[in-house]
Amino acid sequence: MSNNFLQNITPAELAALVNLKPFDEDVFVQSLYADINNAIKHIEKTADKYYSDDEDKITNLLVLFLKGVGYNASEQTKSNGSVDITVQDRDQSFTWLAEAKRGNSYNGVFEGMLQLVTRYISDEKHAGFFIYHQKLDSLSYFKNWFSYLSSGDFEKYKAISDRLDECRYHFKKSPIANAFTGDECYFDYNIVSKKGKEVKVRNFILSLHYNPADKSGRENKSLKVGQAKIYVNEVCDKWFREQEPPEDIDKFMNSLQLVFPELFE
């Protein structure tokens, strides 16, 4: 730095230069996670608006929130496919990727994790995974998802039988970095990237169940349609992923008629 430059700089500018700090990925990630937790709390308080929405609408809401608090966040960016959520620092020297799935069958949710781990992640040290849970008891669901990953239950998923060695490479049994937190909305899970590096994937859950049992709720037609959508989506996911047909075919057909009345005209 030349003397001429120092002579022309103001005291305020010099102070700013002195206080410049190198980018700290861990600090950035912890700040990001704090803001995500805040976003989750806000979204859960308005679950009546999102209780039956698809993944894209809820993901869009999360991205808008992150943009609103100053992050360079985007949806469906390209990284060996379309990544649900991408967050970068101001200089774009750091990238955080995340995938999102609705909380139906664990095998179906695992498909989202497979996308994140075997397709999108490359050099990242941190990544994220969101579960949008639209039914009762999200805590039990999340604990079971924790067990599904850490105990190796994913190995029973028939669809990955010809990729089992690859899955075992990426997903180790009992690889939990941190157990459940006090607010029960996240846990960390360590995977191995394609390059052999450890990546800490933070799993988040959004509890979006909304089905009020008061008189207004019981008589709300749009609420009945929304709950029918959730039920049909869950049943079809289990039917497809786990070869489990509907236990109550009458309920399934009645729900289909509520969601798609034009098919029954």
Q: Is 196 helix (H, G, I), strand (E, B) or coil?
A: coil
Query: pLDDT at position 15, please?
Result: 55
| Helix (H/G/I), strand (E/B), else coil: 11 | helix
Residue 3 in this model has a pLDDT that exceeds 60: no
State the pLDDT at residue 92. 80
pLDDT computed for residue 80 by the predictor? 66
- On the question of pLDDT at 61 being above 80, the answer is yes
Torsion over CA: 161, 167, 173, 177 (sign): negative
pLDDT at 168: 95
pLDDT beyond 80 at 262: yes
| 136-188 per-position pLDDT tens digit | 999 999 999 999 998 899 999 999 999 999 999 999 886 555 555 556 689 99
CA distance linking residue 179 with residue 198, whole number of Å: 17
133: which residues sit within 8 A by CB, 6+ positions away? Answer: 102, 103, 141, 142, 205, 206, 207, 208, 209
Residue 60, pLDDT > 80, answer yes
Which amino acid is it at 165?
D
pLDDT band at 20 (very low <50, low <70, confident <90, very high): low
Residue 25 pLDDT: 86
Question: Tokens for 125?
Answer: 């040290």
Residues 6+ away with beta carbon under 8 Å from 209: 47, 51, 133, 134, 135, 136, 138
Domain ranges of the chain: 22-207, 215-264
> What tokens does 213 get?
């049992």
Give the pLDDT band of residue 36 (cuts 50, 70, 90): very high
Q: Residue 261 pLDDT more than 80? A: yes
Instruction: Fill in the DSSP letter of residue 103.
Output: S
265 vs 261: CA distance, rounded Å: 7
Give Cα 63 to chain centroid, integer Å.
11
Q: For a pLDDT cut of 90, what percent of the chain falls above it?
A: 63
Rounded (10°) angle between helices 221-242 and 249-259: 120
- How far is residue 133's CA from residue 131's CA, in Å, rounded to a whole number? 6
Percent of the chain exceeding pLDDT 70 equals 86
Angstrom distances, CA of residue 119 to CA of 45, 126, 239 = 33, 15, 25
Task: Give the model's pLDDT for residue 91.
Answer: 80
> What is residue 235's predicted lDDT score, i.e. its pLDDT?
92
**158 half-sphere exposure, CB direction, 13 A CA radius:** 5
Q: What is the pLDDT of residue 59?
A: 95
Task: Indicate whether 239 pLDDT > 70.
Answer: yes
pLDDT of residue 123: 86
pLDDT digits (tens, 9 = 90+) for 186-227: 999 999 999 999 999 999 999 999 999 999 888 899 999 889
| pLDDT at residue 116 tops 90 | yes
